[in-house]
Amino acid sequence: MARRGRRRGANADGAEVHGILLTDKPEGWTSADVVRRVKAKVCVKVGHLGTLDPFATGLLPICIGEATKVAQFLNTADKEYTGTIALGSATDTGDLTGEVGETQPVPDFADAELRRVVESLGGEQMQKPPMYSALKRDGVPLYKLARQGIEVEREARPIVIRELELERVAADRLAFRVACSKGTYVRVLAEDIGRALGTVAHLASLRRTAFGSFRFGAAGGTDPAVWDPSTGGVLSISEALAELPAVELPDEAAAAVRKGQPWVLQRLGATVTSGDRAMLVDAKRVPVAVVEKKAGAWKFARVLG
């Protein structure tokens, strides 16, 4: 809710702020830290897409204002990461923040062995989530149970490793790049890579470089510590949903959609010829709703202000 005396979606200078801010999360910050820093500079709702662990850096899209209403359509996107894997030691968290448990010698291997590992771990597969994760059991995050020494059964979930590149950069260190589906735990992938090479391993560093169609430009991402709403840098909702077909509506129909009146949806059948999701925009190309086709009929998935 806007503060008294300001328009909804306005910052202290009166500029409208609605859209996606591509922040470059610093190491040591939680994703919630970034949200709090951005929220302090605007007077609308703020949320993030795709949590990054505190030790990780990189692309953390922040939804501001009306853009928080479309987060559900963006959170299913594929991700891309770069980072390093430490061979020869495993930690209880699967990454550099945990305590080292098992250690094993690192075998000598050639590039051909790395190529074999890449081939064996690519494509569709099932992955069991780690205990140190935000998934919940009976309302309790698994990482809280793990810190108490409690381990519970987790069901493996389908993921897709679309691209994987490995390079040996030291006797006990690999550099990697991976493009993967939503829900992939890179920590688990790092452990799998270690086992495939005949040793143990943990994730030593991680940087997210892409989130669906979101990528940093030549200047990199926005530093959330210094971002100023007056300088812009926020992607519009239309840009964020650019992959959806856009249907332009006359003024009367756009006004009806904003009120949630469904009669407009009856006219979409001949307009949207492919796909089961579309974006409705007004004459100024401002999005007014996202719609989905269910059981052959169009329904409002999200109405925008």
Rounded CA Rg of the chain = 22
Which helix (H) or strand (E) segment holds residue 158: the answer is strand 157-170
Cβ neighbours, 10 Å, residue 169: 12
CA angle 249, 261, 299 (to 5 degrees): 80
Sign of CA dihedral 277, 282, 287, 289: negative
Sign of CA dihedral 107, 113, 118, 124: negative
Phi-psi region of 149 (alpha: psi -120 to 50; beta: other; left: phi over 0): left
Is-contact 19 214, C-beta < 8 A?
A: no
Environment class of 148 (CB within 10 Å of its CB; exposed 0-12, middle 13-18, buried 19+): exposed
Residues recognised as catalytic:
53
What residues have CB less than 8 Å from 217, skipping those under 6 apart? Answer: none
Q: Please compute, for residue 189, the number of CA atoms within 13 A of its CA located in the half-sphere on the CB side.
A: 33
Cβ neighbours, 10 Å, residue 303: 16
| Token pair listed for 177 | 């790049």
Residue with tokens 């995050």: 141
Is-contact 209 221, C-beta < 8 A?
A: no
Q: Which of 257, 258, 291 is nearest to 276 (CA)?
A: 291
